[in-house]
Structure 1
Amino acid sequence: MPPLLTDPSAGGTLLAAALIGGLVRGFTGFGFAMVFIPLAAAVVGPAAAVGLIWIVDAPFSLWLGGLSARRATGREVLPLLAGSTALLPVGVWLLTRLDPALARWLTAGAILAALAALTTGWRYRGRPSLALSVAVGGASGLASGFAALGGMPLAVFWLASQSAEAAQVRHNLMAYFGLSTLVSGVVFLGGGLVTAERAVLALPLLLPYGLGLLIGARSFHLASDRLFRRIAYTVILAAVCLALPVW
């Protein structure tokens, strides 16, 4: 039986992770996986957690992606999607074969390096090149496949731009996730990560996640661009802490 029914503590953990992850995702446009995956993996295992997060997030990603599509910058989103699509299957392959502790160390190290660059004031000038966009998309695909952290490279990518505004970053992220959800759904189904059993487990999580998204989205309009970046950096730091294999 699902842990929501057989283990109140485990069920409470999943519900709380869905609510808090929804708040972060609704406010910043990313971060659901960084909250949900470490907690859910402790309850149902890493592979199941990745499949579960796709089932919970898919309806909302498609809806929010549609709302942001017209305001997103297509010349930035589409190359990222191409890179992600190419390497997403590799990430899923790694999920089932790479040592979990090694994967978590690699993830934490990459995020920490990117965060250090951002907080020290590093920014790239001008528009990102096509090669850079595809490479960042590939990193997102890998991260999404083996850790469901595909939003992290993208958030760092856009936050490092000198010209990117908070609203534009958020629209780009929302549009990207709407499109990538369709791609990852096919890959995850083929890889056995999305199953009927996990779909049943995901149903009770839809309400707290949707509530968190709503509150987070409405709170976004109350924040300045500077506050948005500070909150985004805090989420990134939290991701590093949660990803460390010492826990």
Structure 2
Amino acid sequence: MTALLDAPLPPLLLAYSLCVVFAAGIVRGFAGFGFSAISVAGLSLIVSPAKVVPAIFALEVLASLSQLRGVVRDVDMRWIGWLALGNLMFIPVGVALLAWLPETPLRLLIGALLMAAALLLRRGYRAALLPTRGVRLLAGVVSGFINGVAAIGGIALAVLLSTVNMPPARLRATMIALLLFSDVVALGSAALMPGGAHASGSLLGPDTLRWAVWLAPAMLAGIWFGGRSFAGVSPEQFRRQVLNLLIGLSAVSVLRSLYGLLN
């Protein structure tokens, strides 16, 4: 118990981390996605991603559970099954591909493509995909694959769903439900993967719970604030703000990849 109460970072760095997670929570509360992308990008500036990524998976699960009760009636059941199936099949494919291709250039390419798509949609390009079973499965496959390769499958899915004219409440609720599923899968995978330095023998060592305990209050406060902001937004405002968010998150992914290439 004492170890859990020991801060994982010195006071100033901990304060910075809490601010990052609070901001990421606001985005999650408003849009239903984006928490991992912002948190990992911000925290990796001061600590190794390997130390915090498992905790971020755990926080994502907590975030979805905290939001799901209020949105479960809005989840689009025609979409969620196909999206979950595509993620289940292709998250492992994306992870496996990293064993054969250079990781950073691949992440850079995917981030750049997503940013270009979001910019086109933001500038008024109106792609109108029909929500057939094939389109739903394809959206799950693409988001699952990108999740496995670059851990930004939520961004890819948001780009795809913005082309099918889904009402904001339904889009947000469906994103929350799918992220709960995909993060449980990711958390389970982390539990099975060897972690080297962790006493438990997996990536989910004692530090995972300690990071989660310290960061969870800031995330939940941000989610509450972001959820209140969503309540008064019109469909057009929501679409515009989500596309702005997608452009920003994709840019963060591109900049992280460029930083990795240069270093």
Task: Name the TM tier (shorter chain).
Answer: 0.7 to 0.9
For residue 212 of structure 2, what is the aligned residue in structure 1?
A: 202
Read off the aligned partner of 2:212 and give its amino acid letter.
Answer: A
Share of identical aligned residues, percent? 27
Read off the aligned partner of 2:88 and give its amino acid letter.
Answer: T
**Contact 1:123 1:160 (C-alpha < 8 Å) held by counterparts:** yes
Pick from 117, 122, 126: which aligns with 2:120?
117
Kindly tell me: are residues 130 and 193 of structure 1, through their superposed partners in 2, closer, same or farther at Cα, counting changes over 3 Å? Answer: farther
The gaps in structure 2 that reach 5 residues or longer are 194-201
Larger Rg belongs to = 2
Would you identify which runs of 4 or more consecutive aligned residues in structure 1 move more than 6 Å?
none
| SS of corresponding position for 2:258 | coil
Q: What's the CA shift string for 1:32-85, capped at 9, x where partnerless?
A: 122112112233333444322111221221232344233211111110110011
Kindly tell me: are residues 133 and 45 of structure 1, through their superposed partners in 2, closer, same or farther at Cα, counting changes over 3 Å? Answer: farther
| SS of corresponding position for 1:155 | helix
Read off the aligned partner of 2:22 and give its amino acid letter.
Answer: L
Higher mean Cα deviation, 168-177 or 38-47?
38-47
RMSD, matched Cα: 2.6
For residue 152 of structure 2, what is the aligned residue in structure 1?
A: 149
For residue 186 of structure 1, what is the aligned residue in structure 2?
A: 188
Kindly tell me: are residues 94 and 19 of structure 1, through their superposed partners in 2, closer, same or farther at Cα, counting changes over 3 Å? Answer: farther
For residue 45 of structure 1, what is the aligned residue in structure 2?
A: 48
Kindly tell me: are residues 188 and 110 of structure 1, through their superposed partners in 2, closer, same or farther at Cα, counting changes over 3 Å? Answer: farther
Kindly tell me: are residues 147 and 220 of structure 1, through their superposed partners in 2, closer, same or farther at Cα, counting changes over 3 Å? Answer: same
Kindly tell me: are residues 80 and 123 of structure 1, through their superposed partners in 2, closer, same or farther at Cα, counting changes over 3 Å? Answer: farther
| SS of corresponding position for 1:43 | coil
The count of residues paired between Structure 1 and Structure 2 equals 246
**Partner Cα separation in structure 1 for residue 49 and residue 19 of structure 2:** 18
Kindly tell me: are residues 144 and 10 of structure 1, through their superposed partners in 2, closer, same or farther at Cα, counting changes over 3 Å? Answer: farther
**Partner Cα separation in structure 2 for residue 28 and residue 145 of structure 1:** 22
**Partner Cα separation in structure 1 for residue 140 and residue 240 of structure 2:** 24
Query: What is the TM-score with the length of structure 2 in the denominator?
Result: 0.82
Higher mean Cα deviation, 228-237 or 20-29?
228-237
The gaps in structure 1 that reach 5 residues or longer are none
Query: What is the TM-score with the length of structure 1 in the denominator?
Result: 0.87
For residue 85 of structure 2, what is the aligned residue in structure 1?
A: 82
For residue 173 of structure 1, what is the aligned residue in structure 2?
A: 175
